Amino acid sequence: MDVDIKHTFRGDVVVDLVAPDGSTYRLKNSSTSDSADNILASYTVNASSEVANGTWRLKAQDTYNADTGYIDSWKLTF
């Protein structure tokens, strides 16, 4: 899956893939030492136990309140 998240301090951001049944797959943990901007990344997730049909969501959480950001785009490929 490909992720493009705009953020002024990407180390603050935790990113999860949420399956249709509510199961979550952690893509990225926060890291206070990663002060670069933006998350432009590809992730591989073993979701073979999940049904592909349904609504998949990308959840991004900012763990600190001093920076701003948004999910610009993401793509999930089976």
pLDDT in tens, 33-51: 999 999 999 999 999 999 8
67 has pLDDT over 90: no
Kindly list the distances between the CA atom of residue 5 and the CA atoms of 14, 52, 60, 61, in Å, as whole numbers in the listed order.
11, 23, 9, 11
pLDDT value for 78: 85
What's the confidence (pLDDT) of residue 9? 94
pTM: 0.92
Domains of the chain as residue ranges with CATH: 2-75 (2.60.120.260)
Three-state DSSP at 4 gives strand
- pLDDT beyond 90 at 75: yes
Q: Tell me the C-alpha distance between 27 and 24, whole Å.
A: 9
